[in-house]
């Protein structure tokens, strides 16, 4: 292939026999476990390192907004994380004696002080007041910078020009130099708000593109620019009866992405049209002329790479995601989050005159993953600074020459940045700071914020002297060393996992990728011998004593997840694997090799921080763009090269999907929905390759459905499709077993404990692997098991550490690997086996999982272990589904073809941890089946 997207793959993967070795990238972490070292190098979940330049100041979680006072004395961050929703006022920001005041001061959101905030901030010319965008409150708040007291609230709810803006979501904002006029974007109202600050009234509501995200003024204040990251205006199906959704909601998502049906709709089936993803309203920058403080649309400018535009030899799947804007006298600079570039717009012509690609590592070719976000210009308009969230750096651009002159290392996920009034210092918000660190174990001290991963992800602000040009090469090299480690490897055929795609043909022909929900390493494997575990945290391990939440039911020495432990002892696992994700919303993106862009990252933090769904009440055109934790990807966050599905499809690799990526927002579900698990109410499209290659029987996430039933459906469809003469298993199967997510106890449904959900999940996993290991495909199979995120658990190494298991004849036996792995490692290993190119910078630069495999196969099939009857009765869980489950027959048969409450639970766990441990009343032990695993 000739494309630049494949350049890195060629450098790493070309099969020419004239070259003995190839460059391959690995994660810099090596075998190091995650650690936070604020005076040295901190290791991140993706195996990269941060060594932030300058002075670091801690804020509340996820500071995605930043304002600097005109005199440079104050900086304010808008923190839209899990807890608390807050602002941080940093006094004397440019000096060593900086103080931080959090508003509200409590570690929990205080609706009496600040109900919500989202990115937007602006400080008055007198350096006394800060305007704060109120997000879902559809309001703008005013706070006193000296005292932190709330001064006023401006409601943005109104009717104007015949349109109702009763609901809104206020985001980015900019204030005129004289302080008289405030411009703010309403993300779901698709409007630009103009506020007269003297009267504190809305003067105008001007239409924008879809999901306006960033706004700026030209230096002469004659023009306003708005960047729109949305693609579509989603709508409910027109044939729904809101009083009878169970019978009128749709049984499958609306259409294939970018199809004729998606664009034009299917009126006879109640599917509204979505239109063209390259419409002027989508992925665009709108230019406005300001006339008497009223903006008038002047131009609608498309930036970056269009959907469907050839990226040399494949059409772009996702759009550009223009998100932040800044202007000089001559140019407007726009960050394209999905294209890793800056669009330069001529301010007089409103046309793109240049595109600046930011990638500092040529060996990565055109693989994406830098995620350019915030932008700032020096006071003399000579330098542009760009937050590169994906590589934890700031790019420095020389404006006169339009050359990228270097990169400066920052904290994790830099988002917004400002230059001091004298042009000598740079202030950068790092949304994820130093990461979470551990959230359990003897060395962990439980603070007021609790142990929930989102509350522990404190942000930071970097205050740095802008380095001289002579220092930039060294700082750039530090950025590269922090993110990528290259080495040359030879194509020695000593492992079933080739060292790079195309090195040689792997004996593995079939991959089964199994994803589960929300568990950490320690709570499942903390007891496992030979691993870095904390047995005190292994609440879902073996020989556990526990009781129900209402204290009415007790288990003594119960085996919660015996199959996990038996599989770990028979095959290979890692004790140094980390989810890149914090929660399900971003986790389900990572699970399909889609790295979350700035739109997902900011929306996820806001959603888990309290953003309420307004789907049932709001008529705002963008209200259905709030997806929350639904387990799918959407057109707004499609990466330029697409997802796992697009990569398999364009490289001719067949796949079939059971439950991945089909759990859509605004769906309807109840406990009686046996198949698929939910019904669909909104015209969200599915990625084209996924639409036709997904089971329409397999239940997606619905905790009322046992994982046993999911396994039954999987086995049934497997036998129908791929068992028998002339049938061939695809290269990849994806399978979701989500019940280890856990939910409330339901004794009458077979779940008397939270642990019962874990036991259900464990048994389903054991049954699935037993079935697969007795098919003819087993001799060429690799099964990878992981979690979508770690948010439900605790871990003594890091709150991101989670489960990674490899089950295969080629997996090492009873082996615990200590090499660092992340989601990118999983996909990198897939591409090495399948001989396909890499998809993005995260899989290309992760460490593959060769260490878990051996060239000497053992074809012994797996035998599943029964559930501990104290904890889970499979038949009781299946009875409502009219399914018969005969464990004795299942266990003895030899036939080959045998057939959110999340935060609340975390707070309850923290309360238990703070309280003195309760004694568990001893009861008569129920005998475990003889097939239980050995005691470790």
Q: Residue 843 falls within a domain, yes or no?
A: yes
- Chain segment 693-728, per-residue pLDDT in tens: 999 999 998 889 999 999 999 999 999 999 999 999
Q: Residue 122 falls within a domain, yes or no?
A: no
Q: How far apart are CA 105 and CA 83, in angstroms?
A: 11
**Which of 668, 724, 678, 722 shows the shortest CA–CA distance to 698?**
678
Q: Residue 486 falls within a domain, yes or no?
A: no
- Chain segment 77-107, per-residue pLDDT in tens: 999 876 678 999 999 999 999 999 999 987 6
Q: Residue 535 falls within a domain, yes or no?
A: yes
Cis amide bond preceding 84, omega within 30:
yes
Q: How far apart are CA 846 and CA 593, in angstroms?
A: 12
Q: How far apart are CA 766 and CA 760, in angstroms?
A: 10
Query: Residue 396: what are its φ and ψ, rounded to 5°?
Result: -110, 120
Positive or negative, the CA dihedral 742, 744, 747, 752 is positive
- Chain segment 329-358, per-residue pLDDT in tens: 999 999 999 999 999 999 999 999 999 999
Q: Residue 738 falls within a domain, yes or no?
A: yes
The pLDDT mean for the chain works out to 91
Q: How far apart are CA 322 and CA 325, in angstroms?
A: 8
DSSP 8-state code for residue 424: S
| In contact, 825 and 553? CB cutoff 8 Å | no
Q: Distances from the Cα of 68 to the Cαs of 124, 129, 180, 182, in angstroms?
A: 10, 11, 18, 16
- The pTM score is 0.93
| In contact, 410 and 55? CB cutoff 8 Å | no
DSSP 8-state code for residue 488: E
Q: What integer is the mean pLDDT of 200-214?
A: 97
Q: What integer is the mean pLDDT of 749-767?
A: 97
Q: What integer is the mean pLDDT of 448-463?
A: 92
Can you tell me whether residue 75 is helix, strand or coil?
Answer: strand
Q: What integer is the mean pLDDT of 502-517?
A: 97
Cis amide bond preceding 104, omega within 30:
yes
What's the pLDDT band for 675 if we cut at 50, 70, 90? confident
Interior CA angle at 102 toward 99 and 103, to 5°? 140
Structure tokens, 83: 């807890």
Q: Is the pLDDT of residue 22 over 50?
A: yes
251: how many CB neighbours lie within 10 A of its CB?
10
Residue 869 or residue 608, greater confidence: 869
| In contact, 687 and 257? CB cutoff 8 Å | yes
pLDDT value of residue 114: 87
| In contact, 839 and 647? CB cutoff 8 Å | yes
Give the domain CATH number at 847.
3.40.720.10
Positive or negative, the CA dihedral 41, 47, 48, 52 is negative
pLDDT value of residue 917: 47
Q: Is the pLDDT of residue 929 over 70?
A: no
- Structural domain count of the chain: 1
Least confidently predicted of 52-56, 216-220, 272-276, 876-880: 876-880
Q: Is the pLDDT of residue 438 over 70?
A: yes
Q: What integer is the mean pLDDT of 746-750?
A: 92
245: how many CB neighbours lie within 10 A of its CB?
15
Range of the domain at 833: 507-581+641-914
Q: Residue 718 falls within a domain, yes or no?
A: yes
What's the pLDDT band for 161 if we cut at 50, 70, 90? confident
What's the pLDDT band for 533 if we cut at 50, 70, 90? very high
Q: Residue 907 falls within a domain, yes or no?
A: yes
Q: What integer is the mean pLDDT of 491-514?
A: 96
Return all residues near 552 (Cβ < 8 A) that are at least 6 apart.
none
Q: How far apart are CA 389 and CA 412, in angstroms?
A: 7
Q: Residue 896 falls within a domain, yes or no?
A: yes
| In contact, 811 and 857? CB cutoff 8 Å | no
Q: How far apart are CA 603 and CA 320, in angstroms?
A: 17
Helix 754-773 with 562-570: angle, nearest 10 deg? 40
pLDDT value of residue 912: 66
First to last CA, the chain: 51
Q: Is the pLDDT of residue 16 over 60?
A: no
């Amino acid at each position: 292939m000739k494309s630049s997207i494949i350049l890195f793959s060629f450098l790493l993967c070309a099969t020419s026999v004239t070259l003995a070795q190839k460059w391959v990238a690995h994660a810099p972490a090596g075998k190091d476990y995650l650690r936070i070292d604020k005076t040295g190098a901190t290791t991140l979940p993706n195996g990269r390192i941060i060594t932030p330049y300058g002075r670091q100041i801690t804020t509340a979680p996820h500071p995605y907004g930043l304002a600097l006072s005109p005199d440079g004395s104050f900086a304010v961050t808008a923190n839209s994380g899990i807890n608390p929703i807050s602002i941080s006022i940093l006094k004397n920001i440019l000096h060593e004696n900086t103080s931080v005041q959090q508003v509200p001061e409590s570690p929990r959101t205080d609706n009496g002080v600040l109900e919500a905030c989202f990115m937007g901030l602006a400080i008055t010319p007198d350096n006394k007041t800060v305007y704060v965008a109120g997000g879902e409150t559809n309001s703008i708040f005013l706070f006193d910078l000296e005292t932190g007291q709330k001064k006023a609230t401006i409601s943005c709810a109104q009717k104007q020009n015949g349109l109702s803006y009763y609901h809104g979501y206020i985001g980015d904002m900019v204030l005129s130099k004289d302080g008289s006029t405030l411009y703010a974007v309403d993300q779901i109202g698709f409007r630009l708000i103009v506020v007269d600050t003297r009267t504190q009234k809305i003067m105008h509501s001007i239409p924008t593109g879809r999901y306006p995200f960033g706004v700026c003024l030209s230096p002469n204040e004659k023009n306003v620019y708005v960047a729109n990251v949305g693609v579509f205006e989603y709508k409910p199906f027109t044939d729904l009866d809101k009083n009878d959704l169970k019978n009128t909601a749709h049984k499958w998502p609306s259409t294939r992405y970018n199809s004729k049906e998606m664009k034009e709709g299917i009126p006879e089936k109640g599917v509204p049209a979505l239109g063209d993803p390259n419409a002027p309203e989508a992925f665009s920058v709108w230019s406005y002329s300001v006339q008497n403080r009223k903006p008038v649309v002047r131009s609608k400018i498309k930036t970056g790479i269009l959907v469907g535009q050839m990226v040399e030899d494949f059409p772009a799947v996702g759009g550009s995601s223009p998100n932040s804007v800044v202007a000089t006298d001559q140019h407007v600079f726009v960050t394209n989050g999905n294209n890793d570039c800056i669009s330069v717009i001529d301010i007089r012509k409103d046309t793109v005159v240049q595109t600046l690609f930011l990638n500092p590592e040529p060996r990565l070719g055109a693989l994406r993953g830098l995620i350019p976000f915030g932008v700032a210009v020096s006071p003399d308009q000579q330098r542009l600074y760009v937050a590169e969230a994906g590589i934890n750096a700031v790019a420095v651009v020389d404006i006169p020459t339009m050359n990228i002159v270097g990169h400066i290392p920052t904290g994790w996920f830099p988002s917004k940045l400002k230059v001091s009034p004298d042009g000598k210092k740079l202030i950068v918000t790092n949304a994820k700071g130093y990461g979470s660190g551990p959230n359990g174990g003897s060395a962990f001290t439980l603070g007021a914020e609790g142990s929930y991963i989102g509350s522990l992800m404190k942000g930071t602000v970097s205050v740095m002297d802008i380095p001289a040009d002579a220092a930039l090469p060294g700082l750039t090299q530090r950025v590269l060393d922090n993110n990528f480690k290259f080495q040359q490897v030879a194509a020695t055929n000593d492992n079933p996992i080739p060292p790079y795609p195309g090195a040689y043909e792997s004996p593995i022909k079939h991959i089964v990728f199994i994803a589960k929900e929300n568990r950490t390493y320690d709570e499942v494997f903390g007891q496992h011998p030979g691993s870095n575990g904390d047995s005190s945290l292994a609440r879902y391990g073996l020989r556990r004593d526990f009781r129900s939440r209402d204290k009415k039911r007790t288990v003594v020495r119960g085996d919660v997840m015996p199959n996990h432990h038996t599989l770990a002892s028979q095959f290979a696992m890692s004790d140094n694997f980390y989810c890149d994700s914090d929660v399900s919303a971003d986790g389900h993106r990572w699970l399909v090799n889609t790295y979350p862009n700035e739109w997902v990252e900011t929306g996820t933090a806001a959603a888990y921080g309290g953003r309420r769904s307004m789907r049932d009440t709001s008529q705002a055109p963008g209200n259905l763009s709030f997806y929350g934790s639904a387990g799918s990807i959407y057109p707004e966050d499609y990466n330029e090269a697409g997802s796992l599905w697009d990569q398999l499809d364009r490289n001719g690799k067949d796949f079939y999907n059971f439950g991945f990526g089909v759990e859509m927002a605004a769906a309807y579900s109840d406990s009686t929905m046996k198949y698929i698990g939910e019904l669909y109410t909104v015209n969200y499209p599915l990625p084209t390759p996924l639409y036709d290659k997904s089971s329409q029987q397999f239940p997606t996430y619905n905790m009322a459905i046992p994982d046993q039933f999911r396994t039954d459906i999987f086995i049934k469809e497997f036998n129908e499709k791929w068992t028998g003469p002339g049938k061939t298993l695809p290269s990849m199967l994806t399978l979701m077993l989500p019940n280890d997510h856990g939910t409330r106890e339901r004794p009458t449904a077979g779940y008397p404990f939270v642990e019962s959900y874990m036991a259900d999940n464990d048994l389903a996993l054991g049954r699935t692997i037993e079935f697969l290991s007795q098919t003819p495909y087993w001799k060429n199979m690799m099964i990878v098991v992981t979690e979508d995120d770690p948010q439900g658990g605790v871990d003594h190494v890091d709150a991101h550490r989670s489960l990674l298991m490899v089950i295969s004849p080629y997996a090492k036996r009873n082996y615990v690997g200590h090499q660092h792995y992340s989601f990118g490692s999983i996909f990198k290993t897939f591409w090495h086996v399948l001989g396909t190119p890499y998809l993005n910078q995260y899989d290309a630069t992760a460490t593959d999982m060769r260490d878990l495999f051996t060239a000497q196969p053992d074809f012994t099939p797996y035998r599943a272990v029964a559930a501990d009857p104290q904890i889970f009765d499979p038949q009781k869980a299946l009875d409502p589904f009219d399914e018969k489950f005969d464990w004795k027959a299942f266990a003895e048969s030899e036939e080959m073809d045998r057939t959110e409450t999340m935060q609340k639970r975390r707070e309850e766990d923290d309360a238990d941890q703070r309280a003195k441990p309760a004694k568990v009343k001893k009861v008569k032990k129920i005998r475990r089946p003889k097939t239980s695993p050995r005691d470790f």
